[in-house]
Chains A and B, each alone.
Chain A
Amino acid sequence: MEAGARAEARRPEVSLRAPRPRYGEKIIKGLLVLAAFISVLTTTGIVLSLLEETITFFGDVSVGDFLFGTEWAPLFEPASFGVLPLVSGTLITSAIAMLVATPLGLGAAVYLSEYARPAVRKTIKPILELLAGVPTIVFGYFALTFFTPEVLQALFGSSIQIFNALAAGIIIGFLIIPTVASISEDAMSAVPASLREGAFGLGGSKLQVTTRVVFPAALSGIVASLVLAMSRAVGETMVVLIAGGLRPQWGVNVGESMETMTAFIAATGKGDIATGSIAYKTVFAVGMTLFVITLILNLFSIRFVRKYRQVYE
């Protein structure tokens, strides 16, 4: 109250207000808000486009048949719309990918954050960035023309088909290593040096300090990196489309051809399908399933990242 009165008394001498209203500033701000709104519109557009066709799809097929059916043959007669074979295909390749990426990615992150000298880190980080920048179609080509015939079939013989879940999963695993490594490394580097010094002062070895102090302290960031990597593995299309095959399979046989949700969408939705046909609708129904799964994973990961940022930054 008192401060306000003082400002009032001063106003006649020096006015801090603009001499004229600045409409231009307001218009510009409005345009910027509009641009920011495009990203919200994108999400809305994704949800709406998926929802519309999914709802008409469920007019033809019951939700229970879709979610719990174990046979996926939408384009055959008689048609069958159980999505579980596609979901299991996605989960199997993603699980294999995580089995590869978790140890390798975390190992690389721990080494870069705790052990590597700055010069070493400076040369290795761009190499990991290069790995992250290779288009996924290149990984698909590599899985089909090199990894399956030259590595897997050489090791396991004819039990491995030319299209198989194992090769697709392992190669996706390598593809998501940079995701795991870079976010985990960020989280571990954010752990204050005082924590490490305290542990060393108590007589801890490098191994003990790394595994029992730094690793737990960075856990939320590490979990975030793994969840985000999982989301990428679930959404990865080209590797499974090229090297995983297109034969929906209910059951676990990693040496055989299978089909994931993403591969089905890419193989069926090739742009020339008729609007409103059952094939068109299945693309959207499967797309919706995929979107919901990755959305849940992404929100988890965003929450965990926020948590570690809050603690140490």
Chain B
Amino acid sequence: MSAHGETAAAPAEAIGRPTSSRRAKDLGFRLGLLTCLGLAILLLGVLLWDVASDGVDRLSWDFITSFASINADQAGIEAALTGTLWLMGVCAAFIIPVGVATAIYLEEYADNTKWYNRLIEVNIQNLAAVPSIVYGILGLAFLVRGPLSLGPVILAGGLTLGLLVLPVVIIAGREAIRAVPPSIREGSMALGATQWQTIWRQVLPAAVPGIATGVILSLSRAIGETAPLIVVGAATFVAFNPTGLDSNFTAMPIQIFDWISRPSNDVNDYKPLAAAGILLLMIVLLFMNAIAIWLRNRFEQKW
């Protein structure tokens, strides 16, 4: 990009050949930008290194297959791991149908000039940025107590997380559906298919990879959410695996939070436990993201 203005012709000075001070400024600016990016990446690196070095010694098969214990040496994360799997199951069962249906409605049916459709859209954009702890309050007031009175159980926790990540699924689903070219729809309609037949047999199959990626990314956001589950009332000391939707539960981030906030002493040091829990959580997350990236690359369609 240094080509412009660098002519050796006589009036070059008048046009403004880059002076050395101007070049120095350009270089300085560029270095400044690189520093900004470098700092962000550096912090991520230090964070990963710190967690890994604190927790790697404690991460073992025993850690994964033991329940909570007052003795730091014997404590494990099994109940939290199974609790998290249950929560993700409930969350997925809720967000996939509701999220995809909303995305289909907004992309294929809704008339953008109508005020109520615009309201739904702004509403979803706002919901995506409502603090997660407010969803916890919603879960506490409506699901755990109040109208539904489910109690602090798997179903309430999973639905709270589902409501929290629903906007993410809807936004990803809409993008995937929008990426299917109109010619596919027109072709299908021209052959006599109804609107729903077109959506169900042409548009959705083509949009599935994008939707699946969005669902996995939403679940990977839900899996690390701590604050709403605290408010909903996830237990911190659970020595059993959940047995059903109406079972009390704990989850990985809740268990990690409990270990972080316990005062450590010479006998019981909970810090390595917390770090090991974080490591396990990050491994699960990395695995989910890898699947999402693989899906995106494997099935991405160029029209």
- Give residues 56-110 of B contacting A (CB, 8 Å): 97-98, 101-102, 104-106, 109-110
Chain B residues proximal to chain A, CB less than 8 Å: 1, 4-5, 15-16, 18, 22, 25-26, 29-30, 32-37, 39-41, 43-44, 46-47, 50-51, 54, 97-98, 101-102, 104-106, 109-110, 119-120, 122-127, 129-138, 140-142, 144-146, 152, 163, 166-167, 170, 194-196, 220-221, 223-227, 230-234, 253, 256-257, 260-261, 271, 274-275, 278, 281-282, 285, 289
User: Which residues on the A side are within 8 Å of B281 (C-beta)?
Assistant: 135, 138
Across the interface, do A137 and B257 meet the contact criterion of CB distance under 8 Å? yes
How long is the Cα–Cα vector from A298 to B170 in the complex, in angstroms? 18
Across the interface, do A145 and B131 meet the contact criterion of CB distance under 8 Å? no
User: Which residues on the B side are within 8 Å of A159 (C-beta)?
Assistant: none
- Give residues 223-250 of A contacting B (CB, 8 Å): 228, 231-232, 234-238, 241-242
User: Which residues on the A side are within 8 Å of B289 (C-beta)?
Assistant: 130, 133
| Contact A271 to B140, CB < 8 A, known contacts A104-B40, A142-B50 | yes
- Give residues 167-206 of A contacting B (CB, 8 Å): 174, 177, 181, 200-201, 203, 205-206
| Closest B residue, CB atoms, query A32 | B105
Most buried by A among B5, B15, B226, B234: B226
Across the interface, do B166 and A238 meet the contact criterion of CB distance under 8 Å? no
Cβ-closest 4 pairs across A and B: A271-B233, A235-B131, A135-B224, A107-B36
| Contact A235 to B134, CB < 8 A, known contacts A24-B196, A39-B170, A107-B35 | yes
Across the interface, do B233 and A272 meet the contact criterion of CB distance under 8 Å? yes
Across the interface, do B226 and A107 meet the contact criterion of CB distance under 8 Å? no
Count contacts on A: residues with CB < 8 A to the other chain. 93
How long is the Cα–Cα vector from A287 to B141 in the complex, in angstroms? 12
User: Which residues on the B side are within 8 Å of A235 (C-beta)?
Assistant: 129-134
| Contact A284 to B98, CB < 8 A, known contacts A207-B26, A266-B227 | no
User: What distance in Å separates the Cβ of A25 from its nearest Cβ neighbour in chain B?
Assistant: 5
Known: A22-B194, A45-B138, A205-B18; 20 extra A-B contacts, CB below 8 A, are: A18-B194, A29-B105, A36-B101, A39-B102, A40-B123, A53-B141, A103-B36, A139-B47, A141-B51, A177-B40, A200-B4, A205-B26, A234-B131, A266-B227, A287-B133, A290-B131, A294-B130, A298-B126, A298-B129, A298-B130
Contact of A40 among B32, B119, B129 (CB under 8 A): B119
How long is the Cα–Cα vector from A265 to B133 in the complex, in angstroms? 8
Across the interface, do B195 and A290 meet the contact criterion of CB distance under 8 Å? no
How long is the Cα–Cα vector from A44 to B257 in the complex, in angstroms? 31
Across the interface, do A262 and B233 meet the contact criterion of CB distance under 8 Å? no
| Contact A144 to B260, CB < 8 A, known contacts A35-B97, A130-B44 | yes
Across the interface, do B47 and A138 meet the contact criterion of CB distance under 8 Å? yes
User: Which residues on the B side are within 8 Å of A112 (C-beta)?
Assistant: 37
Across the interface, do B98 and A38 meet the contact criterion of CB distance under 8 Å? yes
| Closest B residue, CB atoms, query A275 | B145
| Contact A49 to B146, CB < 8 A, known contacts A36-B101, A107-B35, A111-B33 | yes
